[in-house]
Amino acid sequence: MFTNAGTSSFTTFLSRVAPEMLPGRRPLPPGMAADLAPHATTIVAIAAAEGVVMAGDRRATMGNLIAQRDIEKVHPADAYSLVGIAGTAGIGIELMRLFQVELEHYEKIEGAMLSLDGKANRLASMIRGNLGAAMQGLAVVPLFAGFDLAAADPARAGRIFSFDVTGGPYEETGYDAIGSGSLFAKSALKKRFRAGLSVEDATRLAVEALYDAADDDTATGGPDLTRRIYPVVMTATAEGTYRLTDAETATIAEGVVAGRMENPGG
Tell me how far, at minimum, the Cβ of 240 lies from other proteins, in Å. 4
Give the Cα separation of 266 and 263 in Å (integer): 6
Q: Which of 41, 88, 241, 249 is catalytic?
A: 41
Residue 25, interface with other proteins (CB under 8 A)? no
For the bound state, the minimum distance from the C-beta of residue 25 to other proteins, rounded and expressed in Å, comes to: 14
Can residue 14 be called a binding residue for other proteins (CB under 8 A)?
yes
- Among residues 102 and 217, whose Cβ is nearest to other proteins? 102
Nearest to 117 by CA among 154, 85, 157, 176: 157
70 makes contact with other proteins (CB under 8 A): no
Q: Which of 58, 59, 73, 75 binds other proteins (CB under 8 A)?
A: 75
Helices assigned H by DSSP within the chain: 10-17, 89-110, 116-128, 131-135, 182-192, 199-216, 246-262
d(CA 185, CA 206): 8
- Stretch 212-241 residues interacting with other proteins (CB under 8 A): 239-241
Considering only residues 95 through 154, tell me which ones interact with other proteins, judged by CB under 8 A: 97-98, 100-101, 103-105, 107-109, 111
Question: Nearest 5°: CA angle at 206, between 115 and 47?
Answer: 30
Q: How far is the CB of 256 from other proteins (least distance, A)?
A: 20
Which residues neighbour 153 within 8 Å (Cβ) at sequence distance 6 or greater?
none
- Which of these segments, 12-20, 42-50, 59-67, 127-135, binds other proteins (CB under 8 A)? 12-20
61 is catalytic: no
Shortest reach from residue 69's CB to other proteins, in Å:
17
- In angstroms, the CA 46 to CA 241 distance is 14
For residue 51, what is the DSSP state?
E
Listed residue (25, 91, 93, 84) closest to 54, CA to CA: 84
Measured from the CB atom, the residue of 81 and 220 that comes closer to other proteins is: 81
Please give the DSSP secondary-structure letter assigned to residue 129: T
Residue numbers annotated as active site: 41
**Which residues form the interface with other proteins (CB under 8 A)?**
2-3, 5-6, 10, 13-14, 17-18, 21, 75-79, 81-82, 97-98, 100-101, 103-105, 107-109, 111, 239-243, 245-248
